Chains A and B, each alone.
Chain A
Amino acid sequence: MRDQIEKYTDKLLKDGLAMPGSIRFYALDDELIVSKDDDWKPVFEAVLEELSVVGLLLAEPTLPFADNLIARSSDSDTRIYPKDSEVKTFLHDIPFIRRSALGEAGELAKAIATILRERKGLIIEGVGFVATGTVTLEQAYITYSSIFHATFIKYLLELLEHGWQLPGEQEALERFKNDWSQPYDVEKLAFRDGPLTARSEIIEEICAVGRYTVESGLVDSFFGNISLFDDGIIYISQTGASLDELEGLIDPVPMDNSSTYGITASSELPVHRRIYETSNYSTIVHGHPKFSVIMSMLCEKRAACEIADCGKDCPETRFINGVPIVSGEIGAGGIAKTVPPVVKEHGRALVYGHGLFCAGTNDFKDAFSGMVQVETLCRKRYFEMLAANL
């Protein structure tokens, strides 16, 4: 348990998700293990007594977006409804407790426990995100990361739609823009030249490129998948594998389905397979860069359109600076149909509210560069639109 606490504290800091000094893990083995013994300990001890979980995480996010969403919500609101498809699928909604409702420790513990009986995580305004793990502390980390991702996207979309509403909001966003607008430097990253054919070399390269996507700040570690196709085999990251920790987690999946040990492969395997079946590409990187996700959800026809669930039902292929945007749900039957045709033609595809697929012909340099280009473009376009709207 202590090694897990150390690992995920480190990851929260490296991913830029939590403020230093704010991270508290409360883990249950046969006894309670606490990473920081302070005033919050009795509150979360009381919460743990009410729940059947292995542990809890409390940390303050590095960005104020979740708090701003709560402050902008109407008084009767008690939940944030994510707009991105990944978090919508796995978390459904994100409950919150308002600063004004924070009572004494016992009451607060009860309020937190009440929410966590139903949901995996919540936001306490002015304090941070709380997340549970029922099997490992990694789950708490994933839920925390998902709340961060969902509130980031939702808040920036809200700004575009409704403008500034809170004091200090504009200044905070300016600071964020400066901090988050550093260019991605692909040139300093080392990519092996393709075609790669040796199994060990292929697996090493996939692991390295996975790390690049996280270390460069393009994506959070938990979301995404990556593959290479060679000689009838798709080498693909396993389901639930962190992109920066892929060692030992690459499944070689025969294209002809003659073996099923790839059952643990990423849920996006059908998308990767169709792309390889229908094109000459040999590498694919898929992640959820935040500005790409945001821009995928902006549609000028929205007001006049009758489709209620755009992420699932929109039949159109839209474009942002030549990058196609398609819809479809995660997994079987959804994006496995909509993504491959546009990747075949354009080498990349944005999926509504979900993320970005980029393909390469020989090695990973093109695919990775494609992801950087699209995210850079989307970030630029977002701030241009924000400036124009406000």
Chain B
Amino acid sequence: MFGWTGKILKVDLTSGAAHREDIPEDILLGSLGGRGLGVRLMRDFYGLDPFHPDMPLIFAVGPLCGTSSPTSARMSAVSRSPLTGTIYDSSCGGLFAHKLKAAGLDALMITGKSDRPAYLKVTGEESSVDDASSLWGLDTLDTMTALMEHGSVAAIGPAGENGVLFANIMVNAANSVGRGGLGAVMGAKNLKAVVVDGGAKTLIADEEVFKKGREDVMRLFKASPIIFGELGISEFGTPALVDLMKQRRMTPTANFSKTYFEAASDYAGPALKRTYQAKKEGCFGCPIRCKKVDSCGKALPEYESASHFGALNNNSDIHSIVKSNELCNALGMDTISMASTIAAYGEAKGRFFAPDEIIELVKKTALREGGGDDLALGSARVCAVLGVPQLSMSVKGLELPAYDPRGAYGMALAYATSNRGGCHLRAYPIANEILRKPVATDRFSFSGKARIIKIAEDTNAVADSLLTCKFAILAASLEEYAHILTGVTGVEYSAQSLLKIGERIVKEERRFNCDNGFSAKDDMLPKRFFTEAGTSGDGIEIPPIDESRFIEELKKYYKMRGLNANGCFEQ
């Protein structure tokens, strides 16, 4: 095949057995890869607990991986989230995706539970499950160092081993399979790491068509102020958004009780660049290089991490923000959920924590020591235990990222409809509501937003399945990527045919969730956003969201998706 390898490696950790299978061509053509393929393979496992040994943990790449398609060397991990209970996928960059494809695989499906700490080694056609007892307890960096001679490593840290519900799988120092706790799923299988290597090449069907598509994408990247502009993410990383969100008065502050943090500039893109002599680094094969590292090569925080360890915790101390981020990466935890859980805990306790205390809480959470044992369950469970469930700023149990929904109503709707819980990336309406791409929309209006969110969800499902970066879609579109995909695979795709695939993926996810008891009651924002105003000023009013208008638009969304009033399917 061109593009795809057509192969999946299935590994049962209980028995140690592994075998390669062909993936039916119609599944690959109809799901593309990554998230789409993973979700398709999860179809028969909806009733299982995330920590059940039979629950699969799937790593999948896309048809563009292994080519020079811009931003396409990414991987998705798919399973069921222990934090949210929803189906879950998360994508990340790093060399791992490239090496998995080079091992001749489109996907790796891991089931079972090893009777001792183990790591899975895949080298070309060979694979083995090896003892990792000596690695258990190590942080992600030390684990990678120990295994890197065998290939590219995806590993969990102590957080994953200890069942922190928002534990990450880390690839390289700072590429994370984040948010939903798939690191804990991996830990429950006693699987410390997966190491992959190989030398197979991805075959391209039509080099000329591919080259033209690639040139079109690169031209659009260069013309994009968000990507390659002087103030864009290539230059300052995603913390370029700190100043923008401050100016738009939608910085989640003090556990979302306010929307403006005067001191945000203290840890914004320019401050990080100046303080840490930030240098550019990028995911493997990415021309944008939005990741930033300090002069020693340590990863600096992304926008979400900086803002949530900062404003959300009433903290302007840049060093504690950088240290907390570094610890989360090393211990293998999601920064957004960690920072948000600490903020909710702080509000529940009547005070937000000091910089040093935040750092200590991060460590204790990963090790599940002291109060950290509660925090390891995420904000929804902690707040429920403390009798203040309303202080968890989450949807479906997933903590909300650093865009206050009172400042962007499409974002409000997208948080609610997201199949994996309170996530900004399922639809990323910040693109049109704030960044003006592909065109601007009125951020304080719900008008037309249901369809915008529906189309954006479908688009991003495609991006996650082709495994292109979401930032690429801020400049280019599916039109150009369809061209690239056609060139690589030799199969005729168009933007609209891709959107149909995206629509099916989102539908399949919702079906999985509905089968697990999710419904309209779960597509709801925390009450605070409907009852409390944000922080108005500078001529910008941040009122509470009109709940009835929100629900009206949510109902339109259901209708467009072919769902009933309860957000599910009739059959």
Contacts and interface: CB of A to CB of B under 8 A. Distances in A.
A116 B229 contact: no
Contacts of B479: 92, 118-120
A197 interface: no
B533 interface: no
Interface in A100-149: 113, 116-120, 133-136, 138-139, 142
Contacts of A165: none
A19 interface: no
B496 A116 contact: yes
Interface stretch (B58-66, B216-224, B383-391): B216-224
Contacts of B229: 263, 265, 267, 269-270, 331-332
Contacts of A273: 230
Nearest to B452: A135
Interface in A238-253: 238-241, 253
Interface in B216-266: 216, 219-220, 222-226, 228-232, 236, 239-244, 246-247, 265
Interface string A19-34: 0000000001110000
Contacts of B435: 263-264
A329 B222 contact: yes
A239 B435 CA distance: 9
Nearest to B431: A135
A259 B434 contact: no
B191 interface: no
B222 A253 contact: no
B287 to A, nearest CB: 11
B450 A30 contact: yes
B268 A54 contact: no
B394 to A, nearest CB: 27
Given A119-B479, A135-B432, A329-B219, A257 B231 contact: yes
A169 B540 CA distance: 54
A257 B222 contact: no
Which of B439, B479, B556 neighbours the largest number of chain A CB atoms within 10 Å of its CB?
Answer: B439
Contacts of A377: none
Contacts of B222: 329-334
B494 A118 contact: yes
B559 interface: yes
A53 interface: yes
B226 A263 contact: yes
A89 interface: yes
A320 B480 CA distance: 36
A82 interface: no
A260 interface: yes
A116 B495 CA distance: 9
Contacts of A53: 455
A1 B447 contact: yes
B225 A29 contact: no
Interface string A311-351: 00000000000000000011111100000000000000000
Given A52-B499, A134-B455, A258-B270, A263 B448 contact: no
A374 B535 CA distance: 48
Interface residues of A, number: 51
Contacts of A54: 448, 451-452, 455
Contact of B265 (A259, A262, A266, A269): A259
How many B residues are at the interface, by size bracket? 35 or more
Contacts of A139: 438-439
Contacts of B500: 52
Which of B240, B447, B448 neighbours the largest number of chain A CB atoms within 10 Å of its CB?
Answer: B448
A189 to B, nearest CB: 27
B107 to A, nearest CB: 27
B228 A332 contact: yes
Contacts of B340: none
Contact of B496 (A1, A51, A241, A258): A51
A204 interface: no
B549 interface: no
Contacts of B495: 117-118
Interface in B530-571: 556, 559-560
A50 interface: yes
Nearest to A137: B448
A91 to B, nearest CB: 9
Contact of A117 (B225, B437, B448, B496): B496
A297 B23 CA distance: 52
Interface string A216-240: 0000000000000000000000111
Interface in A1-57: 1, 4, 28-30, 50-54
A334 B228 CA distance: 12
Nearest to B237: A260
A176 interface: no
A265 B226 CA distance: 9
Contacts of B230: 257, 269-270, 273, 332
A53 B459 CA distance: 11
B269 interface: yes
Nearest to A238: B436
Contacts of B226: 239, 263-264
A147 to B, nearest CB: 15
B559 A135 contact: no
A383 interface: no
Contacts of B454: 52
Contacts of A238: 436
Contact of B270 (A30, A133, A135, A260): A260
Contacts of B228: 331-333
Contacts of A117: 494-497
B469 interface: no
A299 B152 CA distance: 53
A260 B231 contact: yes
Interface of B: 216, 219-220, 222-226, 228-232, 236, 239-244, 246-247, 265, 268-270, 432, 434-441, 447-448, 450-452, 454-456, 458, 479-480, 482, 494-497, 499-500, 503, 556, 559-560
Given A29-B556, A262-B231, 9 more contacts: A50-B496, A52-B455, A54-B448, A92-B480, A136-B439, A136-B441, A136-B452, A263-B229, A267-B229
5 contacts: A50-B496, A135-B439, A260-B270, A329-B223, A332-B229
Nearest 6 CB-CB pairs, A to B? A117-B496, A117-B494, A331-B223, A30-B556, A261-B243, A118-B494
Interface of A: 1, 4, 28-30, 50-54, 89-90, 92, 113, 116-120, 133-136, 138-139, 142, 238-241, 253, 257-267, 269-270, 273, 329-334
